Structure 1
Amino acid sequence: MTWDFRTFQTKPRIRPFLQSRLGTSKITSLSLNDSTVQLERPYPDLAWVQALFTFEAAAGKASGVVRLVPVLTSNGRLEWKAHTVLTNLEGLRGFPEKIGSLRDQLPNHGKWLEKRRREIEFLDEEPKVIIVGAGQSGLEIAARLKYLDVPALVVERHPRIGHNWRTRYEALCLHDSVWYDHMPYIPFPPSWPVYTPAMKLADWLESYAHSLELNVWTSSDIARAEQDETTKKWTITIRRGEAGQERTFTVDHLVCALGIGGGFPRMPVYAGMEQFSGRIIHSAHHKTARDHIGKKVVVVGSCTSAHDICAEHAEQGIDVTMVQRSPTYIMSTKEGIPRLLAIYSENGPPTDVADRINASYPNPLMKLMHQRLVKDIAEADKDILQGLERVGFKLGWGEDGSGFLYLAWKKAGGYYLDVGASQMIIDGKIKLKNDSLIDHFTETGISFQDGSELKCDVVIFATGYDQPRDAVIRLLGGKFSDKVKPIWGLNDEGEFNGNWRDLGVPNLWYMIGNLALCRFHSKHLAMQIKALQEGVWDGSRYTA
């Protein structure tokens, strides 16, 4: 209805939206899915009736989720009124995905290999879209576009798909569950572990691209990217391989799938670092704790990577100290994930249904719900949390006590989903230093503002990555710095900035997110591109 991601609250905002868009949206064939109607009561003082529905709109097939709450009227009667209503475009009218009964029906005898070679090299047609980055973000938007008949080329600077997952530190493992992480078209098999090791995910991404026949050029980068001011098309020169052979395409759309900061580490600078006789690295460049056996290691940071790396060193018997600079939200995956992501489970609804229900909670409402859930999780985790407090670990609780969600959505950091490192801190296997901030480096270690010194041989900064917007500017050049909108974080409506939507530059897009966000929103981005390509949408959005 808006061709955007919007949240409207209060009658003064909802009424003009409906007056403006109901007529042009041409909603018909509204159908309630009776089997989904259910009373839910998450807490004794909270109750609602939830139901899923479908409808037809001018743009195509759509779905929705409605939640009704009991309201006491002035005459003392209870009335059920809509508290939240989600509408979601599922498919473009006249342009269905080429899957299921629309898949290729013809046998292929001895022609497939040559056909794929020509497709990958774009010998018979040119791409309409270039996607920069072959992580989950780039591959999932490429898959969505492929099955909407939009030729796309994925450009990956590393030699293999999944490089960033494959070459990070050995201990890296996803802390959200397999049911939350499925990818479009090919879900993980039923034998897949609940928590995916990074290297296993890297191999999966590679097989995913091959199985779906996505066109990916590895060991390639963008040499030049220019946009025509009149046509808004992109002329992009790609440099391939060690020989640096170049090829130039003129395409309609450029999708940046560069992750948080394009993998560009955020590295603090302190006086005296050049005098330090040991080794200083960012967590992005750390591979294995075995490189540091027999040394004293300091890890600066207290979020996910810092905990993982500290635990890895402790397991090797290495003297490791965590330098905590600010409070950190801690919850265990055992107690937290089943509560926060209860709808994604072994016996939960199909993933696409779970996605709609999950999306039907606006982030501001989710924040309020999580303020309660955080207390429930903390009670379940009280032994760990009390143990951390005893040893002086500084606990944070997120924005207004909302825990993990808003920290992830706004900062992409500030938390650790505990899988064992917290107990190592409690037991002293991971030492803790957080009573003073770093002042400068010395030849033998780190000096703090209170005059204390921590002697060490290796310092690993687990201090996160650059802003996504900065990655776009590095790719395209400073002339776009005044045009590109913020990416990631939440706006005043509680919706994401920049992701999967208008970025301030026509036909420039940013695909980003964890596996779940990419699964759900890759479809939205692909439909926007397809609608523009087919001329069924002029790019205008509801902006009031």
Structure 2
Amino acid sequence: MEYLDRHSTSDPHPAEIGLPTLSKLGNPIIPDDLDVQKVAASWIETFGKCVNQGDVDGVLAVMVNSAFASDVLQAKSVPDNAIPVYWRDILALTWDFRTFEGTTSIQQFLHDRLSDAKISNVQLGAASLERPFPDLVWIQLLFTFETKVGLASGIVRLAPLPISANQLGSNTAGLNTGDVTWKAFSIFTNLEDLKGFPENLGSRRNAMPNHGKWEDQRKNETAFENKEPDVLIIGGGQSGLDVAARLKALDVNTLVVEKHKRIGDNWRTRYEALCLHDTVWYDHMPYLPFPPTWPIFSPAKKVVFDSLHILANWLESYAEALELNVWTSTTVVSATQDLNSKIWSVKVKRDDRSERVFTMKHVVMAFGLKGGKGYIPQYPGMEKFKGPILHSAEHHKAEDHLGKKVVVIGAATSDHGVDVTMFQRSSTYIMSAAKGMRMLLEGPYSEDGPPIDVADRLNASFPTSMMAGIAHRTAKAIAEVDRETLKGLKSVGFRLNMGIKDAGFLLLAFTKASGYYLDVGASQYIIDGKIKLKNDSQIKQFTETGIQFENGSDLPADVVVFCTGYSDANSNMRAIFGDEVTKNVGDTFGLNEEGEMRGLFRQLPYRGLYSMMGNLAICRFNSKHIALQIKAMEEGLFDGKTYAKQ
């Protein structure tokens, strides 16, 4: 297929410049009798001594030496034999989310941070030989270590290099196997816990019985009468609840304010056919995983006995079971910070019209994906149209429009649940949800996968540049599985693409959160003509009875539904914090030049201000990082200053 095969050349695909393929490494021969555990133990022993002594040169000696530096979103001219080398750190050494590429960048980072971090007690965990593709081979090893303030974990991937291609130091002899030496091309370090302040889990829970006092205690905790929270979280979806749960486990007093009447209403108000596209193994929440009877793909609004909705109810039950402090039917009116004390003042209004101003050190914005506000582009004549103009977030069920001509504008995820005539504005990446998503997540997130915390670390340990290369290969495999569907869509004129840098779903999700459709059946309706398709011209204007296009054609409509994604991630911030704060914060969603999210999961330019959003898995993993930053600041372990980009 043309759109799939256009890069079928002997040259490496631009998306794959971040992969250490065997050809780049000089086609090393992996010994049949390779002792993985011995190589891993030798590497970690040398690495541990070097980091403990602050020996930057020693650390670099057990890593690949490379001038490699990629651009995640742009295709750079990189030599075919350029071997990538990465160090990704989450809070452990930088108090930030950072990815360093190339020996020079890593050397500067280690020079600036290694001695101050005071790394000690480096311990090897599991080690294995991994071969995700025939031309990709590495030894993967897990380890733990300590810093002066925390307990941390790490994941290293060792690449096989022909010995003749390396200048070997005396401390690398134990890494030689046959004609190959093993050096790290990818290191991941992640803060897990703070010394002296572990989560109140398991044996650290309160062991005292509570006889008849629990109800009054909970009422008092939730009321916040004559007291202030340490942290205010704006939004009670999965992102807000996850952060609240993490903070509670660290004994940080937290209040969640939610505008809806009930926790879970952000899902209950969605359209009836909505079903999550991620598998259940990927979607667990902190401390309370879904039961083994849970559907593999969670219905957002599966109707049960009393018309309650399964995922929405789970969120509500989650807040109650974990005893999170939540005020529902509460709107945040404004938020300001005292520039001297750095204390936040947040005014909220409850459904009884009462108002209160809370003061606290930390505010977490958990507004939902890209702020949760639907984006409707403006066209001339929209005010003349006699029918309703809706965003897909306002659409509930097809029965609301029975007997009417419905035009759907957009051809990405949210629009395929509503149909009739679809106007496709631009090409779309399509993959099947049932097969494609499982192919993306299989391995760490599966029935037989590792514990969820290990799976999360493994997933996070891939720098985005490397992940893009793997995603490109996986996207090709998914397209092959979906070949008949894609062929059918193309035959009826549906415009297709393979995503940014042909990496399929991955970079689209991280940069736009749109431009893709995870097919749950609507593609076949398009192929069969049950969903009419128009994409031969752009919209010129609306009329009283429909839409007129630039080529002079008209499309009659009684209802127009825009499935055009969501507004910029800062729209809700602007309404609450004002223009100046929003401007200074900048974009929080999307990738920066290192392949990290621009402003999520970390402290923003204003002290004590954080932004949290993402799917269930992203929120599960990164909610702990926000909680650790807040707890560390509260206990004087972290002054709020991160290792600045160099």
TM-score normalized with structure 2 length: 0.81
CA distance in 2, matches of 1:225, 1:296: 44
Letter of the structure 1 residue corresponding to residue 100 of structure 2: F
- What per-residue deviation string (whole Å, max 9, x for no partner) do you get for residues 490-540 of structure 1? 000000010011311111110111111100000001000010111111112
User: In the TM superposition, what is the alpha-carbon distance from 1:262 to its structure 2 partner?
Assistant: 2.8
Partner of 2:441: 341
Query: After the TM superposition, which of the residue ranges 332-341 and 138-147 deviates more from structure 2?
Result: 332-341
1:441 and 2:441 aligned: no
Partner of 1:239: 349
Q: Pick from 317, 330, 338: which aligns with 1:220?
A: 330
User: In the TM superposition, what is the alpha-carbon distance from 1:261 to its structure 2 partner?
Assistant: 3.9
- What per-residue deviation string (whole Å, max 9, x for no partner) do you get for residues 374-399 of structure 1? 11111111001001000110001111
- What per-residue deviation string (whole Å, max 9, x for no partner) do you get for residues 212-246 of structure 1? 000000111122322111010111222111x2112
Asked if structure 2 preserves the Cα contact closer than 8 Å seen for 1:226 and 1:235, the reply is: yes
User: In the TM superposition, what is the alpha-carbon distance from 1:371 to its structure 2 partner?
Assistant: 1.2
Letter of the structure 1 residue corresponding to residue 432 of structure 2: S
1:369 and 2:479 aligned: no
Partner of 1:270: 379
CA distance in 1, matches of 2:198, 2:339: 32
SS of the counterpart of 1:225? strand
Partner of 1:103: 205
1:86 and 2:181 aligned: no
Asked if structure 1 preserves the Cα contact closer than 8 Å seen for 2:373 and 2:571, the reply is: no
Letter of the structure 2 residue corresponding to residue 32 of structure 1: L
CA distance in 1, matches of 2:587, 2:389: 31
Letter of the structure 2 residue corresponding to residue 324 of structure 1: Q
User: In the TM superposition, what is the alpha-carbon distance from 1:481 to its structure 2 partner?
Assistant: 3.1
Letter of the structure 2 residue corresponding to residue 44 of structure 1: P
Partner of 2:362: 253
CA distance in 2, matches of 1:9, 1:204: 41
CA distance in 2, matches of 1:277, 1:477: 35
Q: Which runs of 4+ in 1 moved over 6 A?
A: none
SS of the counterpart of 2:129? strand
1:482 and 2:576 aligned: no
Query: After the TM superposition, which of the residue ranges 523-532 and 336-345 deviates more from structure 2?
Result: 336-345
5 Å-filtered alignment, 1:323-342, equals 323-342=423-442
SS of the counterpart of 2:259? coil
SS of the counterpart of 2:570? helix
Q: Pick from 87, 97, 107: which aligns with 1:15?
A: 107
Letter of the structure 1 residue corresponding to residue 319 of structure 2: A
Query: After the TM superposition, which of the residue ranges 500-509 and 344-353 deviates more from structure 2?
Result: 500-509
CA distance in 2, matches of 1:209, 1:69: 45
Partner of 2:116: 24
Equivalent residue pairs, number: 532
- Name the CA shift for 1:223/1:73 in 2 (closer, same or farther; >3 Å): same
Letter of the structure 2 residue corresponding to residue 110 of structure 1: G
Please list every run of 5 or more consecutive structure 1 residues that lacks an aligned counterpart in the other structure: 311-319
1:194 and 2:296 aligned: yes
Asked if structure 2 preserves the Cα contact closer than 8 Å seen for 1:145 and 1:526, the reply is: yes
CA distance in 2, matches of 1:480, 1:114: 39
Query: After the TM superposition, which of the residue ranges 270-279 and 293-302 deviates more from structure 2?
Result: 270-279
- What per-residue deviation string (whole Å, max 9, x for no partner) do you get for residues 157-216 of structure 1? 111111111101111110010100100000011100011111321111100000000000
Partner of 1:3: 95
Q: Pick from 157, 163, 170: which aligns with 1:67?
A: 157
SS of the counterpart of 1:373? helix
CA distance in 1, matches of 2:109, 2:95: 13
Asked if structure 2 preserves the Cα contact closer than 8 Å seen for 1:280 and 1:460, the reply is: yes
Asked if structure 2 preserves the Cα contact closer than 8 Å seen for 1:260 and 1:466, the reply is: no
Q: Pick from 401, 406, 415: which aligns with 1:297?
A: 406
User: In the TM superposition, what is the alpha-carbon distance from 1:341 to its structure 2 partner?
Assistant: 0.8
User: In the TM superposition, what is the alpha-carbon distance from 1:483 to its structure 2 partner?
Assistant: 1.5
User: In the TM superposition, what is the alpha-carbon distance from 1:259 to its structure 2 partner?
Assistant: 1.5
Q: Pick from 415, 423, 432: which aligns with 2:516?
A: 415
SS of the counterpart of 1:463? coil
User: In the TM superposition, what is the alpha-carbon distance from 1:124 to its structure 2 partner?
Assistant: 6.2
CA distance in 1, matches of 2:365, 2:582: 15
Q: Pick from 565, 577, 601: which aligns with 1:500?
A: 601
- Name the CA shift for 1:528/1:75 in 2 (closer, same or farther; >3 Å): closer
CA distance in 2, matches of 1:96, 1:90: 9
Please list every run of 5 or more consecutive structure 2 residues that lacks an aligned counterpart in the other structure: 1-92, 167-178, 302-309
User: In the TM superposition, what is the alpha-carbon distance from 1:121 to its structure 2 partner?
Assistant: 0.3
Query: After the TM superposition, which of the residue ranges 462-471 and 404-413 deviates more from structure 2?
Result: 462-471
CA distance in 1, matches of 2:593, 2:288: 35
SS of the counterpart of 1:8? strand
What's the C-alpha RMSD, in Å, of the aligned pairs? Answer: 1.2
Letter of the structure 2 residue corresponding to residue 295 of structure 1: K
TM-score normalized with structure 1 length: 0.96
Q: Pick from 507, 530, 548: which aligns with 1:406?
A: 507
Partner of 2:392: 283
CA distance in 1, matches of 2:346, 2:597: 28
Asked if structure 1 preserves the Cα contact closer than 8 Å seen for 2:370 and 2:613, the reply is: no
Partner of 1:316: none
SS of the counterpart of 1:176? strand
- What per-residue deviation string (whole Å, max 9, x for no partner) do you get for residues 237-283 of structure 1? 22111x21122221011111002343222111212222222221111
- Name the CA shift for 1:125/1:105 in 2 (closer, same or farther; >3 Å): farther
CA distance in 2, matches of 1:489, 1:169: 26
SS of the counterpart of 1:393? coil
Asked if structure 1 preserves the Cα contact closer than 8 Å seen for 2:279 and 2:438, the reply is: no
1:306 and 2:408 aligned: no
Letter of the structure 2 residue corresponding to residue 232 of structure 1: K
User: In the TM superposition, what is the alpha-carbon distance from 1:75 to its structure 2 partner?
Assistant: 5.8
Asked if structure 2 preserves the Cα contact closer than 8 Å seen for 1:30 and 1:53, the reply is: yes
1:131 and 2:233 aligned: yes
